Amino acid sequence: MTSTPKLETSARAPRPARGMRILASLRESPAFRLLWISNMFFFGGAWTQTLVLGWIVYESTRSEFLLALFTAVRLLPLLLGPFGGVLSDRFDRVRLLIVACLWALVAVATVATMASAGYAPYWALLLGGLAIGLAQSPSQPARAALVLDLVGRENLSNANALNAMAMNMTQVVGPALGGAMISTFGAPAALWISTAWYAISLLALWPLRSQKGSRQAHQESAMQMLAGGFRTILSSRLASAVLLVTLAANILIWPIYQAFIPVFAVDVLDLDAAGLGWLLTCSGAGGLTGSLIIASLGDFRFKGGLFVLGTATWGLFWALFAISSSVPLSFALMGCIGLMSASFGVLQTTLLLMTTEPAMQGRALGLQELAIGIMPLSSLALGAVAQRVGVGPTTFVSALLLILTMLILAVRVPELIRYSGVQH
């Protein structure tokens, strides 16, 4: 009988050659391997339903604002991130993820059933998006903090890069498959595929359910934990700077990616559903490449510098994409956008975990979710602007503002640029 993988960090193996470092965390931690598989299918379901529901909403309404409103409602549970962080610090993280996965399975299956029955009005899509968001966003602090529990500090960058690889692999496959399924069989079939992916994610988590995490007993109430965590984390100059980058990106860029890519595909590039899927696939392929590069670096120096400067370069490629009307060039730029998004996506969580104490890490990630949670409000604001001036000018100005923010941060917080994550 095989033993259930343990949550404790495994003993360090001799340092492998560079070519072998990419899979270090998967080799050394069987428990992380199960979590990684679960994440891959969880995010696969998320990418598929994001594309399909966004396509249904825009096809039925032809309104940038209503599409932005749907995106805002779907992302609204991000505002629950701080409470998700408290839960992550207070309760067993594996069990929290199992509950989230079950909820996602039921929520998507319900929407898919309505779509299959031919009854999916706009209000039902709004409720479906909200239900799916409730499964995903509040569980993210536990999902991210569990990585450090499983692999330790030295392998944290590698493990987060591998998680980003899983997300980007699903971003390569999910949108292309979703777009092709919409074109061939219709949207309900694509939604059922994402339902199946959530089921596989749950099965991968199930062997870890009997493991006991290393949660500490907390005498204070949840609200006291929340307030104390906020004070401690925000008093750290480095942690606050990392959160500021997350906040800027989710005000200026992520709402565009989440809400307006169907508009670019249909109105600017004249693509069908399959073309939209391939456009997002280019972004996923770029992100996968960037994550592979970061994973191969191991515990590298100047993580903060790559985080800030890579985010600025990401904004530059978005500015170029905003003014492109060429289909081949737009596909290439979307690949570059994905490539540079890896420096932001991988390192925002890595740096936040490295700059906070272990007892506060769940709440730090909850604050990160709160910073991400500004996206629904920003989506509405950018949607209103795009309705008047178009998605191209809106995206171009937003990208330039992100670049400017990163340059100011590099000057004002130079210690973040030099930060390597060395534990003193």
Q: Domain limits of the chain?
A: 23-207+222-418
CB under 8 Å to 97, separation ≥6 — which residues?
38, 139, 142, 143, 146, 205
For residue range 316-366, what is the model confidence (pLDDT) as tens digits? 999 999 999 899 999 999 999 999 988 888 888 888 888 887 777 777 777
Poorest-pLDDT segment among 189-193, 311-315, 381-385: 189-193
Phi-psi region of 413 (alpha: psi -120 to 50; beta: other; left: phi over 0): beta
Poorest-pLDDT segment among 40-49, 168-177, 357-366: 168-177
CA distance 224 to 138: 19
Choose the most confident range, by mean pLDDT, from 179-193, 218-232, 376-390: 376-390
The token pair that represents 226 in the structure block: 């929340």
172-179: average pLDDT: 66
pLDDT tier for residue 224 given thresholds of 50, 70 and 90: low
Q: Which pLDDT value is given to residue 3? A: 42
CB under 8 Å to 58, separation ≥6 — which residues?
67, 262, 263, 266
- Nearest 10 degrees: CA dihedral of 346, 348, 157, 132? -50
Q: Which pLDDT value is given to residue 219? A: 54
266-277: average pLDDT: 82
Q: Does CATH number 1.20.1250.20 belong to domain 23-207+222-418? A: yes
Question: Which residue would you say has higher pLDDT here, 216 or 70?
Answer: 70
Spatial CA neighbour of 245 closest among 140, 352, 164: 352
| Mean of all residue pLDDT scores within the chain | 80
pLDDT tier for residue 91 given thresholds of 50, 70 and 90: confident
User: In whole angstroms, how far apart are CA 373 and each of 72, 191, 247, 260?
Assistant: 9, 25, 9, 18
Provide the whole-model pTM: 0.65
Cβ atoms 353, 364 nearer than 8 A = yes
Span between the terminal Cα atoms of the chain, in Å: 42
Q: Which pLDDT value is given to residue 328? A: 92
Poorest-pLDDT segment among 10-24, 153-167, 197-211: 10-24
For residue range 26-39, what is the model confidence (pLDDT) as tens digits? 888 888 889 989 98
Q: Would you say how long the chain is, in residues? A: 424
Interior angle at CA 194, CA 193 and CA 197, nearest 5: 95
